[in-house]
Amino acid sequence: MRKRGAKSGPIWALGAMSGTSLDGVDAAMILTDGHEVMEFGPHAYRPYARPEQDAIRAALGRWPDDPGVAEAAEVVETAHAELMSRFSGAALAGFHGQTLAHDPRGRGTHQCGDGALLAEVLGLPVVWDFRSADVRFGGQGAPLAPFYHFALARHIGATAPIAFLNLGGVGNVTWIDPTAAAPEVPGALLAFDTGPANAPVNDLIRARLGGELDEGGALALQGRVDQAALDRFLAHAFFHRIPPKSLDRNDFHALLAEVAPLSTEDAAATLTAAAAAAVARGAEHFPAPVTRLLVTGGGRHNRAMMAELTRRMNCTVLPVEEAGLNGDMLEAQAFAFLAVRVARGLPTSCPGTTGVPAAVGGGQISRPEGEE
């Protein structure tokens, strides 16, 4: 391992992600130079307790200094500090924070959590606030994992167009030409949010049954899809917009009203089909067909979701584990990778990923007191 302050060559980086599913915090280490992934390191997960989830949920849609935001930020900071403190050997850390509001063409984007505070707790430089610069320069600020997806496509030896689909609270997809010289090269990447993924189903289960998710898609597999509700969903203006494009977790909250008259099983089936149909609609924008769609995020554990994707996509649909990757930790790894890129002055988004006019390096770096 190189010394902690190495400016070039591979270093160990720690990344953490708290996603829109609000289930908990993932943290993972990778060995990377910001271009390639050399090795995957240890990883861990810290779930949010129900009161912690409630505090974050109460702040969704809110902006800095709004009521409840400070309480949510304290939950996020505490959970991250507890989890990330378990790791050793990292040269720096990437901290995404928790997205509470995302309105790139309006008020901007808001991820709560103080990276400077985390730097003091961890005794490490912490890269954070990854999205604001992209939004400030006219981008959507999301998705940000595509540059890491490009590195992974190279890592697994892909030679033809391939796509990574992340099914978290919101779905996002990255189309990749792995033969391109770099991720920011025109034509190398196209990335965008596909639509709602797990969030509506999770909210349905929480409201009706007091649970957190449709485990394995068991309820959806028992239900029938309401085609009329699905057709109304696909008529939403979002699906007619040319990517790149992004969503807030609650942009499709009206979906729950659409399925309100249905049984829980039918509602779960309809919401699950909606997520898959949104992906298939998004694939119409791919610059070239893909042979493989590699699925990451919690949605890949949902058998109904994977079956719907397989039925609707004209390619092989596989969980990323089939390619030797860790779908539970991929997003956390992405922010470790992006942290190294930020520290080395490399771009983290480009026109093909967020719609920003030119390649941009986002993020700010906070260092522990006394460290230059």
Ordered per-residue pLDDT tens for the chain, 372 residues: 333 445 779 999 999 999 877 889 999 999 999 999 999 999 999 999 999 999 999 999 999 999 999 999 999 999 999 999 999 999 999 999 999 998 988 899 999 999 999 999 999 999 999 999 999 999 999 889 999 999 999 999 999 999 999 998 889 999 999 999 999 999 999 999 999 999 999 999 999 999 989 999 999 999 999 999 999 999 999 999 999 888 877 788 789 999 999 999 999 999 999 999 999 999 999 999 999 999 999 999 999 999 999 999 999 999 999 999 999 999 999 999 999 999 999 999 999 999 999 999 999 999 998 776
Give the contacts of 260 (CB within 8 A, at least 6 positions apart). Answer: 267
Say how far apart CA 138 and CA 239 lie, in whole Å: 21
State the pTM of this model.
0.92
35: number of Cβ within 10 Å: 17
Structural domains of the chain ordered from first start: 11-138+335-347+361-366 (3.30.420.40), 157-323 (3.30.420.40)
Provide the pLDDT for residue 3. Answer: 36
Provide the pLDDT for residue 246. Answer: 83
Check residue 214 and give left, alpha or beta (phi > 0: left; psi -120 to 50: alpha): beta
Helix 69-84 and helix 50-59: axis angle, to 10°? 130
Say how far apart CA 219 and CA 221 lie, in whole Å: 5
Nearest one of 334, 323, 332 to 156, comparing CA atoms: 323
> Per the structure block, which two tokens stand in for 346?
């490399």
CA distances in angstroms from 171 to 46, 112, 277, listed in the order given: 22, 21, 11
Give the contacts of 218 (CB within 8 A, at least 6 positions apart). Answer: none
Provide the pLDDT for residue 1. Answer: 31
